[in-house]
């Protein structure tokens, strides 16, 4: 199975703001940002199954790539709980330090931990592997892509942030 993971394009939010599962639109350069994605990936609807996070910044891209998309909540970004839409500099330093020291296991206040995200994303991957699709394209978020890459490559979650993912990044796997 060919698995292609695509990160959404640039969200319409000020830099320095914490967002995860907040439903944010894309910026007005979307039509330009999608062009390199369309050039790099073959979007053949006959043998390709499309999955996407239901959040707007993914949904908009997914709907430009196909009219047959399966939306799955397991593909949402990390839930930052009380930190959603806060400036990173305004988050309580003590709370932030606790999370940064063990972001894999430590949930954000009223949010989830990276291991929680990892459990739901790997559940998604194991489920789709059983379906024996030839090619799957997943439009999702950086945290989800890092989690899945970590799982597929058998690397630690702690080190998964070494994988740099620009908006519109494409990662391909053969499983």
Quick one: pLDDT at residue 132? 87
37 touches 14 (CB < 8 A): no
> What number is the average pLDDT over the span 92-120?
96
Q: What angle do CA 128, 120, 150 make, to 5 degrees?
A: 80
- The predicted model scores a pTM of 0.95
How far apart are alpha carbons 49 and 45 in whole angstroms?
7
102 touches 15 (CB < 8 A): no
Give the rounded percent of residues in the chain with a pLDDT score beyond 70: 98
The ranges assigned to domains in the chain are 2-174
Indicate the average pLDDT of the chain: 95
* CATH number listed for the domain at residues 2-174: 3.40.50.1240
How far apart are alpha carbons 117 and 143 in whole angstroms?
8
> What number is the average pLDDT over the span 103-114?
96
Q: How confident is the model at residue 45 (pLDDT cuts 50, 70, 90)?
A: low
The owner of tokens 């930190």 is: 83
Tens of pLDDT, residue by residue over 8-41, are 999 999 999 999 999 999 999 999 999 999 998 8
Quick one: pLDDT at residue 14? 96
């Amino acid at each position: 199975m060919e698995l292609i993971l695509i990160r959404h394009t640039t969200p319409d939010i000020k830099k320095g703001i914490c967002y995860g599962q907040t439903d944010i639109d894309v910026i007005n350069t979307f039509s330009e940002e999608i062009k390199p994605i369309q050039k790099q990936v073959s979007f053949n609807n006959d043998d390709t199954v499309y999955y996407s996070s239901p959040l707007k910044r993914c949904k908009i891209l997914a709907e430009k790539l196909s009219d047959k998309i399966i939306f799955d909540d397991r593909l949402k970004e990390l839930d930052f709980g009380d930190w959603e839409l806060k400036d990173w500099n305004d988050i309580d330093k003590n709370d932030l330090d606790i999370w940064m020291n063990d972001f894999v296991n430590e949930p954000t206040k009223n949010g989830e931990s990276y291991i929680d995200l990892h459990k739901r994303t790997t559940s998604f991957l194991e489920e789709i592997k059983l379906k024996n699709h030839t090619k799957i394209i997943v439009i999702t978020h950086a945290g989800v892509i890092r989690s899945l890459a970590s799982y597929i490559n058998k690397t630690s979650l702690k080190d998964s942030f070494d994988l740099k993912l620009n908006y519109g990044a494409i990662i391909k796997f053969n499983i």
